[in-house]
Amino acid sequence: MAVYPTAWQYPRTVNAAIPTRNHWVLTIVCPDQPGIVHAVSGAVVAASGNITESQQFSSADTGRFFMRLQVESSADRESFAAALAPIADTYAMQWRLDVVGRPLKTLVLASTAAHCLNDLLFRQRAGQLAVDIPLVLANHGSLRDLAGFYGVPFESAPVTNAEEKAAFERRVVDAVEEHDIELVVLARYMQILSPELCERLAGKAINIHHSFLPGFKGANPYRQAHARGVKLIGATAHFVTSDLDEGPIIEQNVVRVDHSRSVAELVAIGQDEESRTLTQAVKWFSEDRVLLDGARTIIFR
């Protein structure tokens, strides 16, 4: 009962090339030691699988080994898991097995700025981003029409005091449970989450904020950047932690600017960077390409 036409759907760039039937993505984290690749590839053989993509990384900092595989196999999940179980035990692995291209259940938090939400919804619809957004929650009603335009439910409630904030965050928690949310995206939500909510969403909430070289502290950073005559402005997408704007970095982009740009133009240019950086981070996360190594991310692009 979609309210929008689908005939013209944008050609799917990523998934078009990937047969999703029996195509598995396997991610593994464990203490580094010799023999892991041999053991994992043995499990793949046992599951009658063929490795179509493989990336690995040994972290010298934490001594951990990270691996991401795409495997074509006629095995079902149970058989594949059964093949992995013994080596997972031997090597103290954490692992995750998923289907390539499965849309990730994603909750979006927004406020008044449209650019990030618009890009996420447009790309979901165009088939360029494997997310399923069942709901947008906002602290302001102004983006209701945009969500409706793409056929996505939208709720808003003001967050102007501690009580409203607590209520809003309870609604977030409820929505996460109700929709089996796997990822929460702060698409210029502009509110600091409580430490409790940060804790609860650890490793599955992504935020976006502007970035400059060098960083500017305090209010109105674009005005400060303009006053200093910066030549590059950009954006950083990172995991949400209770340490504001300091979570593990997933993606960053910058764009060149010059002296002729007004503060308003810097803001507009920065917003374009925010959109594409956030969308890229969400895309990698949805494809299980983002792993955490302490305060750092491993990105298997």
From 78-86, 91-99, 194-202, 290-298, span contacting its own copies (CB under 8 A)? 290-298
Q: Residue 242 or residue 252: which is nearer to its own copies going by CB?
A: 252
Determine if 96 is a binding residue for its own copies (CB under 8 A).
no
Nearest 5 degrees, angle CA 105-CA 246-CA 242?
70
Determine if 218 is a binding residue for its own copies (CB under 8 A).
no
Within residues 22-61, the interface with its own copies by CB under 8 A covers 34-35, 37-38, 41-42, 44-45, 48-52, 54-58, 60-61
Residues labelled catalytic? 245
Q: φ, ψ for residue 200 (rounded to 5)? A: -65, -35
Q: Residue 177 or residue 218: which is nearer to its own copies going by CB?
A: 218
Q: How far apart, in whole angstroms, are the C-alpha atoms of residue 98 and residue 178?
A: 21
Provide the sign of the torsion angle of the four alpha carbons 240, 245, 247, 252, taken in this order: positive
From 90-98, 185-193, 199-207, 247-255, span contacting its own copies (CB under 8 A)? 247-255
CA atoms within 13 A on the CB side of 56: 14
CA atoms within 13 A on the CB side of 157: 13
Q: Residues 250-269: x/- map of binding to its own copies (CB under 8 A)?
A: xxxxx---xxx-x-xx--xx
Query: If we measure between CA atoms, which residue out of 252, 290, 238, 221 comes closest to residue 55?
Result: 290
Q: Residue 98 or residue 293: which is nearer to its own copies going by CB?
A: 293
Pick from 16, 85, 192, 244 the residue near its own copies by CB under 8 A: 16
Q: φ, ψ for residue 104 (rounded to 5)? A: -85, 130
Query: Which of helix, strand or coil describes residue 158?
Result: coil
Cβ proximity of 179 and 105 under 8 Å: yes
To its own copies, the closest distance from the beta carbon of 178 in angstroms equals 26
Which DSSP helix (H) or strand (E) runs through 297? strand 296-299
Residue 256: exposed, middle, or buried by beta-carbon count in 10 A (0-12, 13-18, 19+)?
exposed
Within residues 184-213, the interface with its own copies by CB under 8 A covers 211-213
Angle, to 10 degrees, between the axis of helix 36-46 and the axis of helix 77-91?
160
To its own copies, the closest distance from the beta carbon of 285 in angstroms equals 14
Q: Residue 18 or residue 173: which is nearer to its own copies going by CB?
A: 18
Within residues 111-150, the interface with its own copies by CB under 8 A covers 113-115, 118, 122, 142-143, 145-146, 148-149
To its own copies, the closest distance from the beta carbon of 217 in angstroms equals 9
Q: Residue 165 or residue 276: which is nearer to its own copies going by CB?
A: 276
To its own copies, the closest distance from the beta carbon of 134 in angstroms equals 20
Pick from 2, 8, 180, 218 the residue near its own copies by CB under 8 A: 8
Task: Enumerate the β-bridge partners of residue 99.
Answer: 24
Determine if 89 is a binding residue for its own copies (CB under 8 A).
no
